[in-house]
Amino acid sequence: MKGVIITEKTNPATVNIDLSSTVDIIRMINNEDMKVAEKISENLEDISKAVDVIVNNFQKGGRLIYFGAGTSGRLGVLDASECPPTFNTNPEMVMGIIAGGDSALRNAIEGAEDSVECAQADFKKLNINSNDTIVSISASGNANYPVEIIRLAKEKNAKTIALTCNKEGIIYKTADIPICIETGAEVITGSTRMKAGTAQKMVLNMLTTASMVKIGKVYKNFMVDVKPTNTKLRDRAVRIVSEIAGCNYDEAKNVLEANNFKVKEAIVQIKYNISYNDALQMLKENDGILRKIKNF
């Protein structure tokens, strides 16, 4: 077939997968998965450019908004939904939009990825402006939904990032910052939920994590803006405060319980032996970044 994109090609390494033993099937999948990180390593410069754009827009009050259909859309929603508990972000700071709406998270919505009208409706709801960063996610990069999202974002002068696995894809050729992870033919022909999906998930992790590090939501390698909404996260918060402030577990826990589990504030309170309000003011004067405060 003329013009078949690489993710739709037949993988010669797995043509006999249906005749293979269970362990050999698993081995084939594993062997293909091992290629993903290597392919991502070839694109670190492009990914870092995307992070710098995202950070610059965050600092201007802009948002990071993922758009995608099917697996790509689900991965965007997943990454966005994990930012509030991990980094205590406003839910609108990082958003994931899937073609077909929330029901598409569990069910295939026929024709959603091919609908220009769906892209226009989703885009219109968000009042996107030039301070926002738009990431259009698509393995092939050619479906109408992700293509239209890039076009609409450019009309609003929003920065556009394409995350695809196909350099011949339209979004790769039209986005301000194109990222292409060429994962090649899938284990099961055309099943881009596999290597392509894994690559997308890894890159999305990089985009949000690196951006949060750059805006001060990480100290050393601790998630100091964690939102302790359950027992596990409250315990993690106590251990983070204890480790950074240099106090015992019980002292850290007592201060956190008294200030409603505000991790950064607790660290500064203990480190400087000051009140919650004074710690809050000190953080405010340093843009909420612990590294900017003396002795950190």
Q: How do residues 93-133 score in pLDDT, each as one tens digit?
A: 999 999 999 999 998 887 889 899 999 999 999 999 999 99
- pTM over cut 0.85: yes
Give dist(CA 110, CA 197) in Å, integer: 19
Q: Which residues are catalytic?
A: 82, 113
Quick one: which of 248, 295, 292 has its CA closest to 272?
295
Round the average pLDDT of the chain to a whole number and report it: 95
33, 195 in Cβ contact below 8 A?
yes
Half-sphere exposure of 206 (CA within 13 A, CB side): 21
Q: How do residues 56-78 score in pLDDT, each as one tens digit?
A: 999 999 999 999 999 999 999 99
The pair of structure tokens assigned to 191 is: 């099943």
Q: Which domains does the chain have, with CATH numbers?
A: 7-214 (3.40.50.10490), 231-292 (1.10.8.1080)
CB burial of 238-253 (b: ≥16 within 10 Å; e: otherwise) equals bebbbebbebeeebbb
CB burial of 183-220 (b: ≥16 within 10 Å; e: otherwise) equals bbbbbeebebbbbbbbbbbbbbebbbbbbbbbbbbbbe
Tokens 């966005």 correspond to: 80
Q: Can you spell out the DSSP letters for the chain?
A: -TT--GGGS--GGGTTGGGS-HHHHHHHHHHHHHHHHHHHHTTHHHHHHHHHHHHHHHHTT--EEEEESHHHHHHHHHHHHTHHHHH---TTTEEEEETT-GGGGTS--TTGGG-HHHHHHHHHTTT--TT-EEEEE-SSS-SHHHHHHHHHHHHTT-EEEEEES-TTSHHHHHSSEEEE----S-SSTT-TTTHHHHHHHHHHHHHHHHHHHHTTS-BTTB-TT----SHHHHHHHHHHHHHHHT--HHHHHHHHHHTTS-HHHHHHHHHHT--HHHHHHHHHHTTT-GGGSTT-
Residue 3 has pLDDT above 60, yes or no: no
Give dist(CA 62, CA 94) in Å, integer: 9
Give dist(CA 286, CA 265) in Å, integer: 12
47, 37 in Cβ contact below 8 A?
no
Mean pLDDT for the stretch of residues 184-211: 95
Residue 1 has pLDDT above 50, yes or no: no
Q: How do residues 235-287 score in pLDDT, each as one tens digit?
A: 999 999 999 999 999 999 999 999 999 999 999 999 999 999 999 999 999 99
